[in-house]
Amino acid sequence: MKVTILANYAPNAYKGLIQGSDREAAIKTLFESVGGKVYSVMFTRGAYDIVVNAEVPDQAAGMGLALAVRASGSVTDLVVLEELDMKAVLAVANKAAKVYKPAG
């Protein structure tokens, strides 16, 4: 399952960055620990400090690593975007749309 992760570092984590902590290596090790793979790590200016494009074996692996990062206190915001199979989603949406009766 492909994921894009958006995150902001907490103030204490900035200290580690300034002191030379190799976050790209740490992120790759984290993903590999759950059977995943990192495609890119991008440090950004704007709404988020970092964007990671990666792959994880399943939803549990993705959410598990996100929970571990959140629990560390090193991020103030973390968003996990999961890639969708839109053909499958639209097939279900079309089925549901045929039977759904809106309120009112």
Give yes or no for a contact between 22 and 5, defined as CB atoms under 8 angstroms apart: no
pTM of the model: 0.86
Q: How far, in Å, are 29, 47, 62, 80, 101 from residue 32 at the CA level? A: 5, 27, 11, 17, 45
Give yes or no for a contact between 65 and 30, defined as CB atoms under 8 angstroms apart: yes
pLDDT of res. 104: 85
pLDDT of res. 95: 97
Give yes or no for a contact between 36 and 61, defined as CB atoms under 8 angstroms apart: yes
User: Which parts of the chain register pLDDT below 70?
Assistant: none
Q: How many Å apart are CA 54 and CA 45, to the nearest integer?
A: 20
pLDDT of res. 7: 97
